[in-house]
Homo-oligomer: A and B are copies of this chain.
Amino acid sequence: MTNIKDLAKMAGVSVTTVSRVLNHHPYVTEEKKNAVLEAIKVSNYHKNINAVHLSKGKTLLIGVVLPFSDHPYFALLLKGIAKQALENNYKLVLFQTDYMESREMEALQMLKQKQIDSLIICSRTIDWPIIEEHLLFGPIVLCEQTVGKMVSTTFVNHYKTFFEALEYLYHKGHEKIGYCIARNSGTNSQDREFAYRDFVKKYQLRYRPDYIINECLHFEDGEKAIEHIKALDQPPSALLVTSDQVAAGIVTCCQKQNISIPDKLAIIGFDNQPIAKIMNITTIEIPLVDMGKNLFLQALNGDLSNKEMSVKLIERGTV
């Protein structure tokens, strides 16, 4: 592989001059410039980016931590991140963690080792203090609402969103309301539980832990959710479902089992994915792609900022 030294020799100039034309710096005569350009062409030269990185201390690489890439929520987030990365000539390093701390640590390590310039954490298991101590090594951006933490974030207010959705159902006549979440840890799920508890308190309803259905991630989990509530003495009459995929699975399952929607069971999905439109599912739109874009920009920029994204209730046929 030819390097700038070779080019310099070929063009009869110094490596500095070669570097100058390579990086479009001023102060180089047309004549020498053309000589270098010619040398580049005939030698089929290309920079060794690793050397550039070492020299500059930058990689043009941004890490993305997410549990799975085969879930629409994260796939859409990733889409936004990737789109923005492209525009800024950055590449992404993907960390698919399956929510394993060790894998999240790897991402943090790469930041520490300067193998990536910054890190976007779409969802995490690892505790905040660990993240905090890695803030020294480069920008870290979170996709969750934080309080009193010195990190950049892009988030939706899940507490408010959930509370309002619960009230919406309440005013439609529902008093027994359950909800499905992906996992019970995680700040988003916590925020939702707070909302649920406050809602129950406000309207003097009974707090029923068995109305909270955990591990609802994919379409096929809809069936599980239905089985869960069918086993209850007093099944809920409405369900908040934090993924349209799962909501679609629930609707499909109800059709099979002749459970009338929304009469017997009302459903509100989340995200407003295409499947929700097709299946006429009432849902709460979350601008995932835009969130992804913003996450990237924050990671690139490095300044501290916190951006709340607004959501929108899309009324369709399942409530």
User: Which B residues are in CB contact (< 8 Å) with A49?
Assistant: 110, 113-115
User: Which B residues are in CB contact (< 8 Å) with A220?
Assistant: 274-275, 277-278
Chain B: which residue is nearest A92 at the CB level? B94
Is A34 on the interface with B (CB-CB < 8 A)?
no
Q: Give CA–CA (A110, B72) in the complex, Å.
A: 28
B-contact 0/1 string along A104-135, CB 8 Å cutoff: 00000110111100000000000000000000
A96, B86: Cβ atoms closer than 8 Å? yes
A: interface residue count bin: 35 or more
Is A76 on the interface with B (CB-CB < 8 A)?
yes
A69, B61: Cβ atoms closer than 8 Å? no
Q: Give CA–CA (A69, B64) in the complex, Å.
A: 13
Is A42 on the interface with B (CB-CB < 8 A)?
no
A92, B93: Cβ atoms closer than 8 Å? yes
Which of A46, A64, A219 has the most chain B CB within a 10 Å cutoff? A219
B-contact 0/1 string along A185-223, CB 8 Å cutoff: 000000000000000000000000000000000111011
A46, B94: Cβ atoms closer than 8 Å? no
Q: List 23 A-B contacts (CB under 8 A).
A: A46-B109, A47-B113, A48-B54, A48-B113, A49-B114, A49-B115, A50-B53, A50-B59, A54-B54, A70-B78, A71-B75, A75-B75, A82-B94, A91-B93, A91-B94, A91-B110, A92-B93, A92-B94, A94-B94, A220-B274, A220-B277, A252-B278, A255-B255
Return the 4 tightest CB-CB contacts between A and B, nearest first.
A70-B75, A220-B274, A82-B96, A50-B53
Q: A50-B59, A53-B53 are in contact. List 9 more A-B contacts (CB 8 A).
A: A46-B109, A49-B113, A61-B93, A70-B72, A70-B79, A82-B96, A91-B110, A92-B93, A253-B278
